[in-house]
């Protein structure tokens, strides 16, 4: 653990800052990675202008998870859809995958959904073939639900929810 002013530093979830976006843009090597993360309407290749537009910053609260060393470890967005909090565009820094960072991101977002935004339930969509993410969500108590009317990609994704209280 790192010490700062006599305190043990810990993981923190904070609002994303403009300077973080350039780093976030480097986390996607190809169109498939962008599609898994951003959905079928997210353009690839992208530039800063198209990335900003496709992230829909105004429609979602956007967060970065910082490691105890203050590294940008993960990113996620939260909004409201289908009558509950909705998580979107969840991604772990490629250099930190396989270390439980996705779990830390989800636990932090679930806490914010309940404590700050007063949601009682949270949902998300995940591609059926995104096995690592799907298994992480199930391990955190998410359960597959009926697909929401009007949601994109009903044959390709699962819709999962869980209680946040």
Better-scored residue on pLDDT, 8 or 97: 97
Q: Is the pLDDT of residue 98 over 80?
A: yes
Better-scored residue on pLDDT, 5 or 27: 27
Q: Is the pLDDT of residue 6 over 70?
A: no
Model confidence band, residue 2 (pLDDT cutoffs 50, 70, 90): very low
Evaluate whether 102 touches 118 at the Cβ level (below 8 Å).
no
The Cα diameter of the chain in Å comes to 52
How far is it, in rounded angstroms, from Cα 105 to Cα 21? 17
**For the chain, what percent of residues have pLDDT higher than 70?**
95
71, 143, 148, 76: which is closest to 113 by C-alpha?
Answer: 76
Q: Which of 39-43, 77-81, 103-107, 114-118 has the lowest mean pLDDT?
A: 114-118
Q: Which residue has the tokens 């997210």?
A: 42
The pTM score is 0.91
Model confidence band, residue 3 (pLDDT cutoffs 50, 70, 90): very low
Q: Is the pLDDT of residue 7 over 80?
A: no
pLDDT of amino acid 8: 58
Q: Is the pLDDT of residue 4 over 60?
A: no
């Amino acid at each position: 653990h790192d010490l700062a002013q006599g305190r043990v530093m810990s993981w923190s979830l904070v609002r994303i800052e403009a300077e973080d976006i350039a780093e976030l843009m480097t986390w996607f090597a190809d169109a498939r990675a962008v599609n898994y993360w951003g959905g079928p309407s997210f353009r690839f290749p992208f530039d800063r202008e198209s990335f900003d537009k496709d992230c829909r910053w105004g429609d979602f609260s956007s967060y970065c998870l910082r490691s105890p060393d203050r590294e940008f470890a993960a990113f996620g967005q939260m909004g409201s859809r289908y009558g509950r909090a909705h998580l979107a565009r969840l991604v772990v820094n490629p250099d930190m995958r396989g270390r439980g960072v996705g779990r830390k991101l989800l636990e932090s977002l679930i806490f914010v959904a309940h404590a700050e935004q007063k949601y009682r339930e949270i949902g998300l969509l995940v591609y059926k073939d995104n096995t690592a993410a799907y298994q992480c969500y199930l391990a955190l108590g998410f359960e597959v639900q009926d697909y929401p009317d009007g949601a994109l990609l009903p044959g390709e994704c699962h819709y999962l929810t869980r209680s946040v209280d």
